[in-house]
Amino acid sequence: MKALLLTSVMRLADNPSPLVAADVPDPVPGAGDLLLAVSACGVCHTEIDEIEGRTPPPGFPRILGHQVVGRVVEMGPEARDFRVGDRAGVAWIYSACGQCAYCRAGRENLCPDFRATGRDVDGGYAQMMVVPAGFAHHVPEVFSDVEAAPLLCAGAIGYRSVMLTGMQDGDTLGLTGFGASAHLVLKMVQHRFPRSRVFVFTRSAEERAFARELGAAWAGDTADRAPEPVSAIIDTTPAWKPVVESLANLAPGGRLVVNAIRKEERDKDQLLRLDYAAHLWMEKQVTSVANVTRRDVREFLQLAAEVPIRPEVEEYALVDANRALVDITRRRIRGAKVLVVA
């Protein structure tokens, strides 16, 4: 099969083509696995974190990609809940142990043996991939393959982030950064919390305009102050400065949810600029999002199908994955980017 391989950690600024096209052997499904013919795979900022070493694969070469939609072409003898020809989705959670205290409590996202698709195992930047049947997802028919791909990560992690805010209908929600996940959160909040208003903070004038187009009540720069204190904020940026600015925008008792794999080290001095009275006083809270559970993915897919929540999508050919990644680093973002795999 044809695949794009990451062969080492590197900076995109030094090498704008980190992924190398190659012909590799078709993967072979294990006893409980599905073999998928990949039709679409979303492109995520997490792939940049993998390439640049903030959350690197444990070994090389690695096939990236964790928002995967494909058709089942072969099943292991112990695989259940799918048939050959079914459409299946694969998210960031590739597997968890199922036995530890976290897994037993429904918090498999915290499992010490959590394995991530496209990082710990090969993912969807290829014509075929293998996934444990128990960690694959049925994709609602209302979505095309390209529409469904971003829902599996950008949508699911956005859903988990909203749940962690604890927001109620009528609360204000802030979104710092307005990429693939945030634009789906805005659509979800408009449906689930119709009396709530969404404020968007982003450095990009294009993203601010896009947010207003989708119905944001207000959009400003990351360092701006919202029209009023915000009940909860979800930060999807890779930088530290938005964390500090978000805390300054929080209302008393508000909660900041940091939805990022890693924060970049180059501006870590922002941590030293916390002002207790302005940023943390009055019982403000900060929490992070770590991975997703299968339940997050399945609940969001069901919700998205009911609304329906359709992502704004920009399509790329598989061979153009490097260009898609560079476009993300250059803030050429309008919704989600998806590779179409022939």
211 and 326 housed in the same domain: no
Residue 297 lies in a domain: no
Residue 148 lies in a domain: no
- What is the Cα–Cα distance from 304 to 137, expressed in whole angstroms? 14
Count the domains in the chain: 2
pLDDT at 268: 52
Q: Quickly state the pLDDT bin for 265 (edges 50, 70, 90).
A: low
Question: Is the model's pLDDT at 272 over the cut of 90?
Answer: no
Report the CATH number that the domain containing residue 271 is assigned in CATH. Answer: 3.40.50.720
Question: Is the model's pLDDT at 333 over the cut of 80?
Answer: no
In residues, how long is the chain?
Answer: 342
For the chain, give the mean pLDDT.
94
Residue 238 or 11, more confident:
11
Residues above pLDDT 90, as percent of the chain: 89
278 and 322 housed in the same domain: no
Question: Is the model's pLDDT at 216 over the cut of 80?
Answer: yes
166 and 232 housed in the same domain: yes
Residue 272 or 124, more confident:
124
pLDDT tens for residues 149-164?
999 999 999 999 999 9
Report the CATH number that the domain containing residue 40 is assigned in CATH. Answer: 3.90.180.10
3-state secondary structure the chain: CEEEEECCCCCCCCCCCCEEEEECCCCCCCCCEEEEEEEEEEECHHHHHHHCCCCCCCCCCECCCCCEEEEEEEECCCCCCCCCCCEEEECCEEECCCCCHHHHCCCHHHCCCCEEECCCECCCCECEEEEEHHHEEECCCCCCHHHHHHHHHHHHHHHHHHHHHCCCCCCCEEEECCCHHHHHHHHHHHHHCCCCCEEEECCCHHHHHHHHHCCCCEEECCCCCCCCCEEEEEECCCCCHHHHHHHHHEEEEEEEEECCCCCCHHHHHHHHHCCHHHHHCCCCEEEECCCCCHHHHHHHHHHHHHCCCCCCEEEEEHHHHHHHHHHHHCCCCCCEEEEECC
For tokens 């208003």, the residue is 197
181 and 240 housed in the same domain: yes
Residue 150 lies in a domain: no
Residue 296 lies in a domain: no
Residue 93 lies in a domain: yes
Residue 298 lies in a domain: no
- Which residues, other chains included, contact 104 with Cβ-Cβ below 8 Å and sequence gap of 6+? none
pLDDT at 290: 93
Domain that holds residue 205: 156-288
pTM for the predicted model, two decimal places:
0.93
pLDDT at 325: 96
Residue 307 lies in a domain: no
pLDDT tens for residues 288-303?
999 999 999 999 999 9
229 and 164 housed in the same domain: yes
108 and 186 housed in the same domain: no
pLDDT tens for residues 166-192?
999 999 999 999 989 999 999 999 999
6 and 134 housed in the same domain: yes
271 and 190 housed in the same domain: yes
160 and 261 housed in the same domain: yes
pLDDT at 274: 77
Residue 302 lies in a domain: no
- What is the Cα–Cα distance from 21 to 203, expressed in whole angstroms? 34
86 and 207 housed in the same domain: no
174 and 202 housed in the same domain: yes
224 and 325 housed in the same domain: no
